[in-house]
Amino acid sequence: MLDAAQKGGYAYPAINVTSLTTINGALKAFSESKSDGIIQVSTGGGEFASGTAVKDAAFGAIVLAEACHLLAEKHDVLIALHTDHCHPEKVEGFLKPLLQASRERIAAGKGPLFQSHMFDGSVVDLKENLTISKELLKECAELGIILEVEAGCVGGEEDGHDTSGLPIEKLYTTPEDMLEVYEALSGIGRFMFAATFGNVHGSYKPGSVKLKPSILKDGQKAVTDKHGSGAEMDLVFHGGSGTSSEDLQETLDYGVVKMNIDTDTQYAFTRPIVTHICAEHRGRAQDRRRSRQQETL
Residue 93 has pLDDT above 50, yes or no: yes
Q: Which of 156-170, 195-209, 245-259 has the lowest mean pLDDT?
A: 156-170
Residue 285 has pLDDT above 80, yes or no: no
Do 98 and 138 contact (CB within 8 A), yes or no?
A: no
Do 199 and 184 contact (CB within 8 A), yes or no?
A: no
Residue 209 has pLDDT above 60, yes or no: no
Residue 171 has pLDDT above 80, yes or no: no
Task: Please tell me whether residue 217 adopts helix, strand or coil conformation.
Answer: helix
- pLDDT, average across residues 9-27: 96
Instruction: Give the pLDDT band (50/70/90) at residue 212.
Output: confident
The reply to whether 84 belongs to the active site is yes
pLDDT recorded at residue 241: 64
Task: Give Cβ neighbours of residue 179 (< 8 Å, ≥ 6 apart).
Answer: 219, 222, 223, 226
- pLDDT, average across residues 273-285: 82
pLDDT recorded at residue 237: 92
Q: Which of 158-167, 201-210, 286-295 has the lowest mean pLDDT?
A: 158-167
pLDDT digits (tens, 9 = 90+) for 128-168: 999 999 999 999 999 999 999 998 755 444 455 444 444 45
pLDDT recorded at residue 163: 45
Who has greater pLDDT, 290 or 135? Answer: 135
The span from the CA of 121 to the CA of 115, in Å, is: 20
pLDDT recorded at residue 160: 52
The span from the CA of 36 to the CA of 158, in Å, is: 25
Residue 176 has pLDDT above 90, yes or no: yes
- Give 148: exposed, middle or buried? Use CB within 10 Å, 0-12, 13-18, 19+: buried
pLDDT recorded at residue 206: 47
pLDDT recorded at residue 153: 56
The span from the CA of 133 to the CA of 81, in Å, is: 19
Q: pTM for the full model?
A: 0.85
Q: Which of 4-8, 25-29, 277-281 has the lowest mean pLDDT?
A: 277-281
Q: Out of 3, 36, 84, 264, which one is annotated catalytic?
A: 84
pLDDT digits (tens, 9 = 90+) for 213-251: 899 999 999 999 999 999 999 999 987 666 778 888 999
**Angstrom distances, CA of residue 208 to CA of 200, 211, 213:** 11, 9, 15
